[in-house]
Structure 1
Amino acid sequence: MSKYLMNKFLYTIDRDPDLVERYREDPSGTVAWWEETQANRILNCVGQESSTWLRFEDTEREALRAHDYVKLFELGAHPFLTLTLFIGMFERDYHEPLGFQLEYARKLSHIKLPYPDIST
């Protein structure tokens, strides 16, 4: 399992409004594109700097494709990264104030301390 790669995906998608919309509308295509073209790029480096070995595990890939932030949290994705990205994607679908945040908290309420390890 690569918590680093999951968190890198969440971080880089969340930083680009066009990618947020792309991920909302086509999660499977976005995950496949990102894994193929972006996963091995080194953050904050020129395009020529890259590695070759980073790939999602099947469980990570499926959770990302399904927008399953509960499973991502259980796999060790950082909660701030999942929350900020999914707020950007889904807050507009709720009519009450903090609607998505309350839904996020409700869906994660079964998880008790200690939380899953989020270190990378």
Structure 2
Amino acid sequence: MSRYLIDKFLYTVDRDPDLVERYRDDPVGTVTWWEAERANSVLNCHTGEASTWLRFDDTERTALSTHDYVKLFELGAHPFLTLTLFIAMFERDHAEPLAFQKQYAARLAHFDLPYPDIAT
């Protein structure tokens, strides 16, 4: 498992409005594309440098492909990265202010301290 790679996915998708919409509309295709095209690029590096070994495992790929932020939290994804991306994708589906954030908190309420380790 790679918390780094999950966090990298959340970080890079959240910072590109087109990718946010693509991930919202086609999560499986976006995860597959991102893993093939972006997973091994060096973060915030525009020189074409890349690695060759980073891959999601099946659990990570499934959680990302199904927008399962509870599972992502359980796997150690950084909660701020997860929350900001999912707010961008799903807050608009709720009529009440902060409704998605309340849903997010309620779905994570079963976790007790200490939370899963989010260090990378």
Fold shared, TM-score > 0.5 on shorter chain: yes
Once residues 68 and 61 of structure 2 are traced to their aligned partners in structure 1, the CA distance between those partners, rounded to angstroms, is: 10
Moved over 3 A (4+): none
RMSD (CA atoms): 0.6
Structure 2's unaligned 5+ residue stretches are none
Q: Distance in 2 between matches of 1:51 and 1:17?
A: 25
State the SS of the aligned residue for 1:80.
Answer: helix
Question: Residues 86-107 of structure 1: CA distance to partner in whole angstroms, max 9, x if unpaired?
Answer: 0000000001110000000000
Contact 1:41 1:47 in 2 (8 A): no
Please list, as runs of the form range in 1=range in 2, the aligned pairs for 1:1-120 lying within 5 A after superposition.
1-120=1-120
TM-score of the superposition, structure 1-length normalised? 0.99
What is the count of residue pairs matched by the alignment?
Answer: 120
Q: Measure, in 2, the Cα distance between the counterparts of 1:64 and 1:80.
A: 16
Query: TM-score if structure 2 supplies the norm length?
Result: 0.99
Q: Distance in 1 between matches of 2:44 and 2:83?
A: 23
1:46 and 1:24 mapped to 2: Cα distance? 26
Q: Identity of counterpart residues, as a percentage?
A: 73
Structure 1, gaps ≥5 residues long = none
Contact kept in structure 2, 1:60 and 1:72, CA below 8 Å: yes
Task: Give 2:59's aligned amino acid.
Answer: T
CA distance in 2, matches of 1:59, 1:110: 20
